[in-house]
Amino acid sequence: MSLAIHPATSEYLSLIRRKRLYGGILVALFAVLLASGFRVADDRNAGGFFEGFHRILDFPTEIFSEAATNWRNLPGLFVQFIPSLIETLNIAAVSTLFGALLASLLAFLSTRGLALWPRMIPVFRTSMDIMRAVPEIVIALVLIFLLGGGPVPAMIAIAFHTTGALGKLFSEAAENADIKPVEGLTSVGGNWMQRVWLGVFPQVAPNWSSYALLRFEINIRASAILGFVGSGGIGYDLKTALQWGQGKYDQVVAIFTLLLITISIVDHFSDRARARLVKGGNSA
């Protein structure tokens, strides 16, 4: 063992000291910004954070106490809202399906190393950025104006946003896929469709489906919200129940309970589906 201190030791020590200094400065800066930012935000508030904080539970308490007095209505309300819940679920499912299909195509076209036309990658990327940037509710409002209220505008709006969101996630998953199988398929003379479908898709399928299932959960919520602007489904019922207040809070509780149960069920089944896909993925 050499007893003299190796030059690399002092070099490394000074490097570590520098790193710690920078890290400390950054943490201090962050703390200052956070504190001052909080003051600015609180000043711009109509009320005040600390004055209003203790009242944060008032509204939920009102809802729950009213629902508790009318608890006998709840089972009937569950049954009453199930058709509109199904409509909401249908909007979410169809838009997730179409969004995911379009997203997979765009993902392959915009992934470095896999793209059919590498020069076009920025075009596809930007188009997905635009799809993500426009909120669902804006598209839905425009389409409702053009096509009239109903589930179709909501479906198109959600599918549009889903394409952009999933396309980016899909493309990132595809970027991390192993390129060796693709090289193998290129070496036997496979064309682009064959290489992508047989070489990359089996690798990314578990990841993609798990993203798509997560998106399905998000879309259930999105399609419920779009009911507020007139696309039907359970969101419309929720808006009515919340809007006229007095005496309808039992409906609000029923709707939220239904949504919670639905999302739990979707989560449970998508978990199992994902586990199965990951296990059986190597035979695909």
Partner 1 sequence: MKLQVINVSKIYGDRAAVDDVSFTLEGDGFVGVIGRSGAGKSTLLRMLNRLTDASRGEIRYEGTDILSLRGAERRAWQNRCAMVFQQFNLVPRMDVASNVLHGLLGQRSTLTTLFNLWSEADITRALEILDRLGIAEQAAKRAEALSGGQQQRVAIARALMQDPRIILADEPIASLDPMNAQIVMETLKRIQTEDGRMVIANLHTLDTARRYCDRVIGMRDGRVVFDGTPEQLTAGVARDIYGADATFSEAATSTSIDALNPDTDYAVAMLGD
Contact set with partner 1 (CB under 8 A): 1-2, 5-6, 8-9, 11-13, 15-16, 20
The residue among 9 and 191 lying less far from partner 1, judged by its C-beta, is 9
The residue among 6 and 44 lying less far from partner 1, judged by its C-beta, is 6
Q: Helix 58-69 crosses helix 249-280 at what angle (to 10 degrees)? A: 100
Q: Contact at 8 Å (CB) between 63 and 252?
A: yes
State in angstroms the smallest separation of the CB of 235 from partner 1: 44
The residue among 11 and 271 lying less far from partner 1, judged by its C-beta, is 11
Element (H, E) at 162: helix 151-175
State in angstroms the smallest separation of the CB of 23 from partner 1: 8
The DSSP code sequence of 88-133 is HHHHHHHHHHHHHHHHHHHHHHTSTTT-SSGGGHHHHHHHHHHHHH
Q: Contact at 8 Å (CB) between 87 and 234?
A: yes
Element (H, E) at 54: none
The residue among 2 and 283 lying less far from partner 1, judged by its C-beta, is 2
Report the candidate in 105, 108, 215 with the shortest Cα–Cα distance to residue 172: 108
Taking phi over 0 as left and psi of -120 to 50 as alpha, with beta for the rest, 115 belongs to beta
Give the angle 9-12-14 at the CA atoms, nearest 5°.
110
State in angstroms the smallest separation of the CB of 13 from partner 1: 6
The residue among 12 and 30 lying less far from partner 1, judged by its C-beta, is 12
Q: Contact at 8 Å (CB) between 266 and 273?
A: no
The residue among 2 and 187 lying less far from partner 1, judged by its C-beta, is 2
The residue among 20 and 268 lying less far from partner 1, judged by its C-beta, is 20
Q: Contact at 8 Å (CB) between 93 and 223?
A: no
State in angstroms the smallest separation of the CB of 279 from partner 1: 16
Q: What are 161's two structure tokens?
A: 């946003």
State in angstroms the smallest separation of the CB of 116 from partner 1: 31
State in angstroms the smallest separation of the CB of 26 from partner 1: 13
Q: How far apart are CA 143 and CA 153, in angstroms?
A: 5
State in angstroms the smallest separation of the CB of 19 from partner 1: 9
